[in-house]
Amino acid sequence: MQLNQFLEDFSKVEGAKILVHGGGRGASEQLKRMGIEPKMIDGRRITDAETLEVVVGFYAGVTNKSIVSSLQKLGVNAMGISGSDGNAISGVKRPVKTVDFGFVGDLHENSVNGKLFQILLKNELIPVVCAITHDGNGQLLNTNADTIASAIAKELAKIKEWNVELYFCFDKNGVMKDVNDESSLISEIDFEFYQELKADGIINEGMIPKLDNAFEVIKSGVKSVYIKHASNVNMEIGTKLI
C-alpha cells in the first residue's frame, strides 16, 4: 500500500522523470525461503551466483514489472529497464580486497548511457530503473540504487537546458539532529554545516554515506538534491541540500 501511494505521488510529478529502485523485501524473503541467509557486510549484500539469480528475478522481474504495470494503470508510460537494457548502465565487478562481495557492481565515469535516457524521455517513456548493472561481458551485477540514481542525475545534468533534481526517498523525513525526534528535522543543509554536524557527532552513522554521496552530486551540477520520506515526494517536508 505504501508503494501504491508512492507511485500515485510519482505519477503526479510534472515533467520528465526517472524512478530508480531496489528489490524491496521480496528478494530477502525469497532468499530466506530458499534457506539462503543474507550475508551483509557494511550494509552491502554479498552476492554469490545463487543470490544474484534471486536478486535479478526480483529487482528486474517481480519488483520492476509490478511498478511498471502500476504506473501504466496510473497513466504513466513507464519503461522498466536494468543496466543491461540498451546498455543503460554499465558497471565493473567490485575488486576483491579484504572482502569478496561477489557479483556486486561499482560504477565508473562513463557508466551511464545518457543518450539512451534522452531517447526514452524525448519519446515520453518514463524510465523505471532497477539496481542491476552489467559489465558488458555478459555478467549482471547487483548495484546500489542510490549510486545509480546519483550517476544518472550527474550525467543528465551535463545537458545545459535540463534542470536536474534528485530525490532520495527513504523511511525518514530527512536528515535529523536527533533520529528519534521528528521536530529536529534539518530543512536545509550546506556542505559546511554538514561538516560541522559530522564533527560534532550529530549526524547518524547510517546517513553519512548517503550525505557524502548527495553532496558529491550537488558539486557536479545537479540543481537540487533532496532527502525525503517516500510519502512526501510532492510535499515540502524534507532536507534540501544546498
- In this structure, the number of other CB atoms found within 10 A of the CB of residue 176 comes to 19
User: Residues 91, 97, 101, 102: is their CA dihedral positive or negative?
Assistant: positive
Total number of residues shown for the chain: 242
> Among 5, 50, 69, 235, which residue sits at the site for a copy of itself (rule: CB under 8 A)?
69
Q: How far is the CB of 8 from a copy of itself (least distance, A)?
A: 12
Interface with a copy of itself, residue 125, by CB under 8 A: yes
Q: How far is the CB of 24 from a copy of itself (least distance, A)?
A: 12
Interface with a copy of itself, residue 195, by CB under 8 A: no
C-alpha cell at 16: 520528465
Considering beta carbons, is residue 137 or 180 the nearer one to a copy of itself? 137
Tell me which residue has cell 510534472.
14
Considering beta carbons, is residue 89 or 166 the nearer one to a copy of itself? 89
Interface with a copy of itself, residue 112, by CB under 8 A: no
Interface with a copy of itself, residue 5, by CB under 8 A: no
Inter-axis angle of helices 114-122 and 145-156, nearest 10: 80
Q: Which part of the chain contacts a copy of itself (CB under 8 A), choosing from 81-89, 206-214, 218-226, 227-235?
A: 81-89
- Asked if residues 122 and 172 have their Cβ atoms less than 8 Å apart, the reply is no
DSSP string, 99-112: S--BSBEE--TT-B
Interface with a copy of itself, residue 57, by CB under 8 A: yes
> Among 18, 31, 68, 157, which residue sits at the site for a copy of itself (rule: CB under 8 A)?
68
Q: How far is C-alpha 219 from the chain's CA centre?
A: 18
Question: Which amino acid belongs to residue 72?
Answer: Q
Interface with a copy of itself, residue 111, by CB under 8 A: no
Which residues, 126 to 165, sit near a copy of itself by CB under 8 A?
Answer: 132, 134, 136-140
Cα gap 198→189, rounded to integer Å: 12
Question: Residue 230: which of 17, 15, 21, 18 has the closest Cα?
Answer: 21
Residues near a copy of itself (CB under 8 A) are 33-34, 53, 56-62, 64-66, 68-70, 72-73, 77-82, 84-87, 116, 119, 123, 125, 132, 134, 136-140
